[in-house]
Structure 1
Amino acid sequence: MSNPNVSIIIVNYNGGDVVIDCLTSIFQNLDTASIEVIVVDNDSRDRSPDFIEQQFPTVKLLRQAKNLGFGAANNIGAHHAQGTHLFLLNSDTLIQQNILPTLVNKLESSPRLGIVGPRLLNPDGSFQLSTAYAIGLWGEWRTLQAVRKYRQPALRAALAQQYQADRDVDILVGAAMLMRRSHFFEIGGFDENFFMYFEESDLCQRFRNAGYHLLYTPDVALIHIGGFSVAQVAGKMAAEYRRSQRYYYKKHRPQWEQWVLHCYLAFKQWQQRQRT
């Protein structure tokens, strides 16, 4: 394919249960003449790369010899992409309509617009929280309050009402993000020091540092099953979450916030030891 408008990049890690459905939904609902689909496989052992190769011969499948993590795999996909735009898509998403023209039009409406994220839905079609406040002590507290409201069915409807129109946001969840390929490389792509967690928050922060703003739009939506790959290795990833959090604070936050985080995590570890 020559000069596709959008390169869709999907990172796969043992996602056989979801990635085939994701790819099927892409080819059923999007204009295949204007896209290329790239799957970066992080050394899956469930034969999902073989299934992709057999069922979707037009997909550019990039097999890796080890699990490189989400950010590094997306960087590889971006370097192989030919599209004007990159659409970073999780393997556990389902496309239900041709959402790309709307997203591309919004992105191209302003040269200072860095990333556009669509509305995310749960598998039952209900609202899914897909934005966050800028990472920091205050921002993480505000995001936690939003998450607590989201988890209470009685409060979720009121929260969803706040997302009925386009709005500038600090962070877009990395399940579905559209950006110009040139901007992605301008800011240096993903920081590969993040293996998992905080990598999209870091990307969003660096877009904002470069003077771009981020847009959430409810005008188009897709289903995000959520947490599939992470759920498989939840125990191992708890320590990785804290490592990434510390690194993010060291990179972006003032020293006093780093110190507060250090004290908080030390206290949490002490509490855990007391319980065992």
Structure 2
Amino acid sequence: MNSTNPVVSIIIVSYNVETFLMNCIESLKRKPSDVPVEIIVVDNNSTDYSVRKLQQKFPEIPIIQSESNIGFAAANNLGASYAKGQYLFLLNPDTVVEEGAIDELYNFLTSKPSAGAAGSYLKNPDGTFQISCYPFPTLFRELWRLLHLDSIIPFGSYPQHKWDTKSPHQCDVVQGTSLMIKRNLWDALKGLDENFFIYSEEVDFCYRLVKAGFENYWVPTSRVIHYGGQSTSQFAREMFLQLYRAKIQYFKKHHGNFVTFIYKTILLIASLLRLFLSPLVSWINPDAKIQQRQIQENYKYLVASLSHL
């Protein structure tokens, strides 16, 4: 599948997800694109048998091995530095790409000069719909989301499940799970910001792309199954902290110190509220006791760490 003159470069960043990585690549091999593509795997210093298995099963695929876990953004930038295609397709290893998914993104981007990036319709393993697009974060949207008010009126998130699934939809942020980007714009924006170790790197990139005068789109005719969180689940509590560290970083970069201070205050109040209400939820619903205990531990960790973020 790796073409000597690829039009699309598929970049897969892998970390200790051997089985998922094999399944992902097999899906790419099973349902090849009509467009010439290359596959580049960047391994973030996995300690499982990912690299060995990949070398044995797919020797034609180049593997870039990092000596340490350099993070999602840096690893994608590393893969892009080896890419030859005019389009970069960032793909998570815990995905299965359905037939035509790559072609649909490519055809859309080539036909839409104003579009800079396009993402796929993501499905859960059971075939149900998975949210993959978001509005840009603001203080009020984050407060709305933290108070779980989106279930009443979707403001902190999109009502994406109601979108037309036959035509592309413009949006602020497209999740980096299955995201195709025009190479010239990637180069102009200097790729992903490596200061984001994990989380919010695609939010930052999409924001910079829009500021540069281009648009992000969701292309529902491109279908990808996403298992979700296979690398991050190995360090669940630390990843919870990383999620909010990245959000704070985003606010600081694009909105300054004062807005960041307000956001951290919102986080503190929301965290204390969750800690206060969690025992009540456990009492009302005993089946949720274990889950609520984990939530309590996560928010205690966040409150204890907030002054250092």
Counterpart residue type for residue 82 of structure 2: H
Query: Larger relative contact order (C-alpha < 8 A, sep ≥ 6)?
Result: 1
* Corresponding residue to 1:35 among 37, 40, 63: 37
Counterpart residue type for residue 65 of structure 2: R
Q: Equivalent residue for 2:200?
A: 198
Distance in 2 separating the partners of 1:46 and 1:104: 33
Counterpart residue type for residue 161 of structure 1: K
Distance in 2 separating the partners of 1:27 and 1:210: 35
Aligned CA RMSD, in angstroms, stands at: 2.5
Residue ranges of structure 2 left out of the alignment (5+ in a row): 153-158, 276-299, 305-309
Q: Equivalent residue for 1:174?
A: 176
Please tell me whether residue 90 in structure 1 is matched to residue 129 in structure 2.
no
Give the length in aligned residue pairs: 268
* Corresponding residue to 2:78 among 73, 76, 80: 76
* 8 A Cα contact 1:136 1:253, kept in partner: no
Q: Give TM-score scaled by structure 1 length.
A: 0.89
Counterpart residue type for residue 235 of structure 1: R
Q: Name the SS of the counterpart of 2:231 in structure 1.
A: helix
Shift of 1:180: 1.2
Residues 33 and 116 of structure 1, relative CA distance in 2, 3 Å threshold: closer
* 8 A Cα contact 1:119 1:219, kept in partner: yes
Shift of 1:147: 9.6
* 8 A Cα contact 1:133 1:143, kept in partner: no
Shift of 1:49: 0.8
Q: Equivalent residue for 1:161?
A: 162
Distance in 2 separating the partners of 1:195 and 1:146: 27
Distance in 2 separating the partners of 1:230 and 1:145: 24
Residue ranges of structure 1 left out of the alignment (5+ in a row): 151-157
Q: Name the SS of the counterpart of 2:69 in structure 1.
A: coil
Segments of 4+ moved more than 4 angstroms: 141-150, 268-271
Shift of 1:162: 2.1
Rg (Cα) greater in structure: 2
Cα deviation, 1:58-102, whole Å, max 9, x if unaligned, reads 111101100000000000000000011110000000012122222
Cα deviation, 1:215-256, whole Å, max 9, x if unaligned, reads 111112110111111111112222222221211101112554
Range moving further from structure 2, 250-259 or 21-30: 250-259
Shift of 1:257: 2.4
Shift of 1:138: 3.0
Distance in 2 separating the partners of 1:104 and 1:191: 24
Distance in 2 separating the partners of 1:108 and 1:145: 40
